[in-house]
Structure formats: C-alpha cells, structure tokens
Amino acid sequence: MAATDPAPVILILGDEELLADRAVGEAIAAARATDPGTEVYDLIGGKVEPGELTRLSSPSLFGDRSVVAIRSAQDLSKEVVTEIVSYAAHPADDTVLVLVHPGGVKGKALVDGVKKAGAHVVVVTKLTKPAERLAFVKAELKRAGRSIGADAAAALLDAVGNDLRELAAACSQLAFDTPGKAIDEAAVARYHRGRAEVSGFTVADSAVEGRLGDALEQLRWALATGTAPVLLVSALAGGLRSLAKVGGAPRNLRGGQLASHLGMPPWKIDRVQRQLNGWGPDGIARALQAAATADEQVKGGGADPAYALEHMIQTVVASRTGR
C-alpha cells in the first residue's frame, strides 16, 4: 500500500496487537499524507450501531477526507456486518475504512464478505517462531537506522522475552542510547544488566547453575529495586521448565530437529544444556515443586514473600546437587 494512496477498505487480520496497531497507524498516516486535514474516527466493534458507518462516510459539505477505524471487528452485530459488507463493495471516495479482526471463527462472515468485496488485507498474526522474533528485532533496529548481529539479537530476546511491545521498546531504547551504527552483544549486556536483575533472569540463572550466594544477593537487589515477587518466581519457574524440556528431549535429535521439537531457538537450547550439568529428573521435580509452593506463598498464601523466595532458591540449589 503506497504511503499516499491508501486502499478504500483495509482489513487488518491477525492477533498480534502491536502489529495491528501499527497497521492502523500506517493507514491513518497514508490518508493524512494525501490530506493533512483527514478526520479519524476510532471505534470499538461492540459499540458500533447500525447506520453509523453510513453517517461517518457520507460526503462532507467541505469535502473533508476521513478514516473510520473499527477495532475488535469480530464483535460487530449482524446488522452492522451486513452494512459493512455492502459498503465494502462500493466504498465512498473520501473515506478509508479500516477493520481490525483477530482471526478465528467469530465474525468470519465479515472477513469473508469484505475479502470478496476486494478489501486490502494486512496479515498481523503472532510471531511464534524464534527466527521470526529475531527477524523482528533486526527489522526494528533497521527502521531506526541501526544494525544488530545475530548473537546480540539472541541476547536481547533472552533478556526481554517474546512480547513484541517490550521488544520494540527495548530496540528503540538501544537505538537511542547506544553510540555507533552496529549494536553488539556487549551493548545489549550493558543496557540490560539492571533489567535482567530486576526481571529475575539473573536470579534464575544463578539458582539453576548452583550459585547460591549470587542468587540470594541478586534476589535481595531485585526486591530492593521494586521487582514484584511473583515475577521472580515466574522467572525461576520458566528456567526450570526449560531444564525439564531439554533434559527430557529424545537423545537422537540434534540441531534444527531438536529446536523444532522443543519449540526453542538453538542458542537457548545450548545455554540450557550447559545449565543441565548436575541436574536429574528427581531434582528438577523437587525444584519445580518448590517454585509452585513459593508462587502460592507470594500470592497471599504466606506472611513473608521475601522469606518464601529465599527458601525457594535454597531448595532449588540443593535439588541440583542432590542434597
């Protein structure tokens, strides 16, 4: 879709909210590139009434251009769906209609109808594969005029996680704060050292690797800087589940086959395999039970979340060594 020539009817289809929001923004920007005075109507599907689209798309006495964006289009009533499908076949000249639908069965009549009428479709499904998220990180930094190596991108994913909004924010901050054109692994480590401690990743790594003193020190720092106890439990439980997944994988799988089987990127599998040293199935089971107990306690089942977290870490480290 050209920046100055938006399609009259645009269907944004998929369940990745960040990409859907960006697609709506791009449609609005394209309309305003043609007419800076374009008026925008941002509506929610369940609140759109019959006749509302007809009213908003009616020609203005002043010839103003408009964008009518309808989010959560799966919640539109049958009457409004019928109206929109009919409109899509003969859209108004001065209106851009943007429909945001998450996919799925609900509201499928709308999707099928506007597709048949010739709507421009933008697919924004969630990025479920590690390679897709790595590509997203690289694309984000390229948009900011920067570049990032594969190892640095992998390190960023490891520190931030899979949420695209958080990844986009992290990329933006790195691009703003890091000098030079290329962003390397050292730059990611410098910027996210504090974040990793606060988010619990460093605590989790120290615990599963058996470094009790480091894990307790990092735990106290995380609590002192305001990290929610439930997030610290979640980080450690995630690390333990990764141990269980990698440790229980078929021994005959290697490389890409193993990554595909586990649904994990190869760089993360390599890291977990190193952390598995000293762990057995019984120890992992005990550690996971300790994390589950701590989770209950920090969510109101115990009087002292800090004590519950320290006890969890001590149990995890002891489980690794078999004591």
Q: What is the token pair recorded at 102?
A: 């998450």
CA–CA dist 282, 320 (Å, integer): 9
What is the model's pLDDT at position 60? 67
Helix (H) or strand (E) holding 157: helix 150-160
pLDDT at residue 196 in the model: 43
Low-confidence ranges of the chain (pLDDT < 50): 1-3, 194-198, 323
Cα distance between residue 260 and residue 266, in whole Å: 9
Query: Do the beta carbons of residue 167 and residue 186 sit within 8 Å?
Result: no
Instruction: For residue 121, give the H/E element and its range.
Output: strand 120-123
Six token digits for residue 72: 């959560």
How many other CB atoms sit within 10 Å of the CB of residue 35?
14
Which of these, 233, 151, 282, 218, lies nearest to 159 by C-alpha position?
151
The strand order across the sheet containing 9-13 reads: 39-44, 66-71, 95-101, 9-13, 120-123
pLDDT score recorded for residue 109: 96
pLDDT at 323: 46
Q: Is the pTM of this model over 0.85?
A: no
pLDDT of amino acid 197:
42
Q: Give the contacts of 125 (CB within 8 A, at least 6 positions apart).
A: 13, 14, 15, 16, 103
Residue at 61: amino acid letter: L
Residue 170 bridge partners (DSSP): none
| Residue range 101-119, pLDDT digits in tens | 999 899 999 999 999 999 9
Positive or negative: CA dihedral 250, 255, 258, 262: positive
pLDDT digits (tens, 9 = 90+) for 266-314: 777 888 888 998 899 999 999 999 999 999 998 887 788 999 999 999 9
